Structure 1
């Protein structure tokens, strides 16, 4: 949706808009570009502003990706969900893979914590395990992490 304001014309106005956006939260390069292009049609100014804010260190896709991974983990999301969201935000797949690898979270432990938080009942029949599996799959965990978490949770239920 276009704003009712007049489009930004000068590079200084676009820089002000970029700094205003970045002062509130981190943006990927693709997100910031899209936001700025909604405010102006001066693509060459947007490219120049992006180069400058990156040079100053105000926008950095690696920092953004690492921050988003920490956010996803804190929300109990799995590797697939986090990677999908980052791709939607325009982050390069190679950067996503590298940052996920560097983060080294224990996906099985995160998945188990989600199961323990959501399913506190003492049942663990086949239907219940299927429900746990679907729950973790919907949160973006890979099959290995899900299997491990489901088995550990079932053992905890029996203990």
Structure 2
């Protein structure tokens, strides 16, 4: 970690030697004791690697997200690309893990396959990574449970109320086939 008191002392020494005409008021404007510490710019080598590990310990990032995050602080984008590839080969970063976590998170939130694929696309993750899990999920049951939670067990006869349920489930990302089965399913149907 950086010791800001030592840096301040070194900075003060270097400014005195390079520009003796600098007024003391301008040095007071440089406040190193603020809550907001200056962000490190131009990281390379082991410092960039350490920052990458620090970022990855907080949460999982997709490859594209990690590249963008590290590129903000790195000197060389090529070094970032090499580092992220190395982290991916060593399994510190995995798009597969991120995709699986997003799938389970989105399913818990009541999202359908289309919304999940859209969320993956926004994070620049290929949806083929979780294609098997998407196929294995019973989307008809998911849509039905969501319909019951929002609208109850009754099967609506009125077109306006059916349309409202259809719009709700479509917005949540379910396919039309699953939606129709969910809104027409009777309580005792299995």
TM range (shorter): 0.7 to 0.9
Structure 2: gaps (5+ residues)? 1-36
Bigger Rg over Cα: 2
Does 2:141 correspond to 1:109?
yes
Rounded to whole Å, the distance in 1 between the matches of 2:103 and 2:155 is 33
Identify if the C-alpha distance between structure 1 residues 98 and 4 changes in structure 2 by more than 3 Å, giving closer, same or farther. Answer: farther
- When the two chains are superposed, the root-mean-square deviation of aligned CA atoms in Å is 2.1
CA drift at 1:95: 2.8
Would the aligned equivalents of 1:83 and 1:96 in 2 still touch at CA under 8 Å? Answer: no
CA drift at 1:41: 3.8
Does 2:166 correspond to 1:133?
yes
Structure 1: gaps (5+ residues)? none
Identify if the C-alpha distance between structure 1 residues 123 and 69 changes in structure 2 by more than 3 Å, giving closer, same or farther. Answer: closer
If the length of structure 1 is used for normalisation, what is the TM-score? 0.85
Does 2:149 correspond to 1:120?
no
The Cα offsets for residues 55-85 of structure 1, whole Å up to 9 and x where unpaired, read as 2211111121112111111111000000001
Identify if the C-alpha distance between structure 1 residues 18 and 147 changes in structure 2 by more than 3 Å, giving closer, same or farther. Answer: same
Aligned to 1:148: 181
Higher relative contact order (CA 8 A, sep 6+): 1
CA drift at 1:48: 2.0
If the length of structure 2 is used for normalisation, what is the TM-score? 0.72
Q: 2:90 aligns with which of 56, 77, 87?
A: 56
Q: Which has the higher helix share?
A: 1
